Amino acid sequence: MHVLRSHRRTWAVDPLAERSWDAVDGASPDRVDLDEHLLRAELHEALLMGFAELPDHQRALLELLLQDPPLSYTEISDRLGIPKGSIGPTRARALERLRATGPMVALLQHDPAGSPAAATCHATRSTGR
């Protein structure tokens, strides 16, 4: 289902083709979708680059926490050989370090509050997720 949904969001775009512009805000619906797609791609690339800067143990923990379906803390503890009680604090430190990586700092400085990418990063900071 995930693969099918991801293909639904994929579309070919000709940036030189004429589009009918929306009279209300001056942006076409196609352009808004393209802008959102580009912002998400920019966030994804910054996250991947930031992820590469993390120490191996933090990167491994975050990768396990991102598994779908989610792994239990017991499974994560067994795989990484760390106590269950240290998973949460290590996760918090890893996310804070990820936010401080060059690519993430550059992304947030580029568009500090207006983009969905920035909103996602700020929401992650405030909720710890």
> Which pLDDT does position 123 carry in this prediction?
44
Judge whether 64 lies within some domain.
yes
Looking at the structure of the chain, the number of domains it has is 1
What percentage of the chain exceeds 70 in pLDDT? 60
What average pLDDT does this structure show over 62-85? 96
Q: What is the domain-level CATH number for residue 41?
A: 1.10.10.10
Judge whether 4 lies within some domain.
no
Judge whether 3 lies within some domain.
no
Considering only CA atoms, which of 80, 65, 38 is closest in space to residue 124? Answer: 65
Give the pair of three-digit tokens for residue 69: 């379906």
**Calpha distance 87→71 (Å, rounded):** 12
pLDDT of 6-65, one tens digit each? 555 555 555 565 554 444 445 555 566 788 888 889 999 999 999 999 999 999 999 999
Judge whether 7 lies within some domain.
no
CA dihedral 69, 1, 59, 10 (to 10 degrees): -160
Domain containing residue 100: 29-127
**Calpha distance 43→103 (Å, rounded):** 9
